[in-house]
Amino acid sequence: MTDESRGIGGTIGPPWSVDVLADLHAGVLDDTRAAELWPLVNADPEARAILDALDATQADLAALADAPAPPMPAEFAARLDAALAAEAAAAFPGQAQAAPRQAGPGNAPVVDLAAARRRRNKRLGWAAGVLTAAAAAVVAVTVAIPNTSQQTGTPNVAAPTGPSVGNDGAGAQALVGKAIGVRDFGPLQNEDRLDACIAAAGLDPKVRPEGIRPVNVGGKAGVMIILTTGKLAQFRLVAFGADCGPGNPAVLFDKVVGEK
């Protein structure tokens, strides 16, 4: 609204601004200002006439929501029919086309938009049901058939990730600096599985790793832990295979690095 009389220190009253009356009618003014204006407006016939017109306009707009939609012009109805027929022919080739709708007044085909939308939604729902069933079948097959490696008879194992080190842990010392404070369980996924590997290897469970990170040990997926030894700048590096667990430590290497 752009009424200049609504500025600070301005006066509001006859002749009334339509902007002010519209704001008052819409309830956007603050309660104090509205309480001041309503007695003045109700006492002014011209202001009341404008508010009555706003009431009538609001009622007309509200009635439009329940009013029946007028028939679609014949030109647009024909174009929509052709588009729907082409869509149906593309989606369901070989099926018989539906009989044309009865013409309205003047022999112009009148399209019931609600009916057309219901038919379209029904087709989309059928297609979605087929896709959902197909997806469920794929999931069922995936669950029923365990994943195997490319070599027949070889069980699937986790692919190695992380930096590569030698089978004896060569090169692992260079990883210590960046691994301190890291807790990436890699193929072991969580701390419980790692604790089971540590227990299987007979390591002291009270000595918690200073760092945990996945490593590639000679092409095998592993998880390396960094343990303190009680000596300054000296660490014990132990790498477990991805298949370690209770009764199977699967230690890939176990070495002490740093100051002797």
Cα–chain-centroid distance for residue 10?
51
Residue 96 pLDDT? 47
pLDDT values of the chain reduced to their tens digit, one per residue, 260 residues? 444 444 333 456 777 888 888 888 888 888 888 888 888 888 888 888 898 888 888 777 877 777 777 777 888 888 888 888 888 877 776 654 444 555 445 444 444 556 656 666 565 555 555 555 555 554 454 444 454 444 444 344 578 888 999 999 999 988 888 888 899 999 999 999 999 999 999 998 788 899 999 999 999 999 999 998 888 888 999 999 999 999 999 999 999 998 76
H-helix segments, 180-243: 191-200
Rounded CA gap, 240 and 233, in Å? 23
At which residue do the structure tokens 């660490």 appear?
A: 235
